[in-house]
A and B are shown apart, each in its own frame.
Chain A
Amino acid sequence: MRIVGIETEYGITDPDDPRANAILLASRLVSACRAELGDLSARWDYGGEDPLQDQRGMRRDRRYATADLLTDAPEYSEAERGITLRRRRGSWEDPAHLNAVLPNGARFYVDHAHPEYSGPEVRSAHDAVLWDVAGDRIALAAAARYEAIEGERVTLYKNNVDGKGASYGTHENFLVRRDVDFDALASRLTAHLATRQVYTGAGRVGLGAHGEDAGFQISQRADYIETEVGLETTLRRPIVNTRDEPHASRQRWRRLHVIIGDANCLEVPTYLKIGTTALVLAAIEAEDERLDALVLADPVGDVRTVSRDLALETSLALASGETATALEIQRALLEICRDYARDGDDALVLARWESVLDRLGRDIFEAAREVEWVAKLQLLGRLRTKNAGPDGRPLPWDDARLAAADVQWSRLGDGFAFRLAAAGAVERLTTDEAVAQAETNAPQDTRARLRGAIVAGRPDIVDAAGWSTVVLDRDADHGNLEVVHLYDPHEASHPLLDSLLRG
């Protein structure tokens, strides 16, 4: 499969002090993570980051960028492959407590006011799940270390909303061929991103960005998506994000940054959202014109419509003048994608995709072991019945107990979703043993292998590492750092780094 990676921003609180400063909490958590994993010393290298370049070919002038877009260091340059020299930086750049480069190839850092785990590059939907779950375990271990160091508690949540207007993201990244026309890509991908929530949605109590109306909806993120295509991720959030920061050879690849997805505590939704989207992208790369029949007339409105359609029966207007339900659009995408299965992993994705759609179409509760919003709705439904009023009516959706249960569903460690998994009531795709391996070992079939191995194995000579660079500090006398460029994310070996790792 193509290269993919998942980024998760966790909700964070001090349960004993709800007013604690979230940025401070998150940066102390990152410090605890560095300590927990053996006093990791490598800094994050921002070389190659370029959040102002737009996939549509434009470039946002730095003067007109809002501050939250400026996530890079202002020294961006596109160097050739190989090794280049760089002057030594001031120690004020990238204070160490804001970033940790992990032995499994991931980055754990502070993004705005949240701790974020950006998983390593992987090459299958199953590996995407494995290193995503490993991130949850790493974050939990960091929280335990934090409590030991600080003598205070910290709680993490794998969700996307606080019910009061704030939303934070779970982003997917897909490597896509550069020669694909971006407007065509956006047009052909949108129907998938708007309708896949029927199996990727995590479920949410409350309707509207501030939870102003009572009710339950399929997706955490639906009410925060405001436009079809755009560069921003924190305001005017788009269905298709145009940030053009490939972290790889700009001549060969794009990195498609998908921001519409929910954080998933169940494993099957993560597996399907990565696996199905990768297949749809293969159809787009092949310029499969069957996708044009599925273009939606009002995709932004449809994201909300689908999220509120728990019966999965509402017809959406297509640009062609026809109508189709979200399930019908997903079935049509599944049929198209059958032509793009390339290996056994793809075949497994197709089989799971078909099976989940079939069961959702018969009775949504047949999918309660795999689809997160259905599992959540089932649990909350039983709570509503159990607490029915004297007139026999179930607990109303605006009861605080249901809102509390929604948040506590996603609490890392002992949240209800994780308790259901431990009780065998929801399906897992990973084993505890494999997850433990993935906490400290990088995928072996991408450049993440090099990043993880060198920061863990040679901290004596690594100054920094980023997605497409490893910065070496081998000789204090010559005054320069050596920047090793890794512009092909499929490349899991490098002559210099491999020789340094041997010894």
Chain B
Amino acid sequence: MPQVNASGQPYEDDAPEPAAAPAQQASTDALDDLLDEIDGSLQTNAEQFVRSFVQKGGE
């Protein structure tokens, strides 16, 4: 089954880990700043935010 990795574990930590992006040295600082900011914003209320994000079906 493709949903399960070779050792039979659910596909949880099987995602390839990102290497440092080689071609974008110029924007690395901006990315690091953005990452810090995102990380900070997620430390509070992430759980409540996820719980309250409820949509109706569409189309």
Residues of A within 8 A of B (CB): 9, 11-13, 18, 22, 68, 111-114, 116, 161-164, 166-169, 171, 207, 213-216, 233-234, 259, 304-305, 308-311, 314, 363-366, 368-369, 377-379, 381-383, 385-387, 393-394, 396-397, 399-401, 403-405, 407-408, 416, 419-420, 423-425
Contacts and interface: CB of A to CB of B under 8 A. Distances in A.
A397 B11 CA distance: 10
23 contacts: A112-B56, A112-B59, A113-B58, A168-B57, A207-B11, A213-B3, A215-B10, A233-B59, A234-B58, A308-B11, A310-B14, A310-B16, A364-B16, A365-B21, A369-B24, A377-B16, A383-B38, A383-B39, A386-B35, A397-B13, A403-B46, A404-B50, A408-B38
A420 B19 CA distance: 17
Interface string B21-45: 1011011001100110011011100
Contacts of B30: 423-425
Contact of A113 (B17, B39, B50, B55): B55
B21 A378 contact: yes
B57 A166 contact: yes
A26 to B, nearest CB: 10
Contacts, number: 158
A399 to B, nearest CB: 8
> Could you tell me the dominant secondary structure of chain A's interface residues?
mixed
A311 B59 CA distance: 31
Given A259-B59, A396-B12, A162 B21 contact: no
Given A114-B56, A163-B53, 16 more contacts: A12-B55, A22-B56, A113-B56, A166-B55, A167-B58, A207-B3, A207-B11, A233-B59, A308-B2, A378-B21, A381-B18, A383-B38, A397-B13, A408-B41, A425-B31, A425-B34
B42 A401 contact: yes
Contacts of A405: 38, 42
Given A215-B10, A369-B24, A166 B35 contact: no
A233 B58 CA distance: 9
A319 B16 CA distance: 30
A416 B47 CA distance: 18
Identify the interface centre among A304, A310, A405: most chain B CB within 10 Å of its CB.
Answer: A405
Contacts of B7: none
Given A311-B16, A423-B30, A424-B27, A403 B50 contact: yes
B17 A215 contact: no
Contacts of A304: 3
B58 A169 contact: yes
A381 B16 CA distance: 9
A234 B59 CA distance: 6
Contacts of B2: 305, 308-309, 314
Contact of A162 (B16, B39, B42, B54): B54
A407 B16 contact: no
Contacts of B13: 393-394, 396-397
Nearest to A306: B2
A444 B18 CA distance: 43
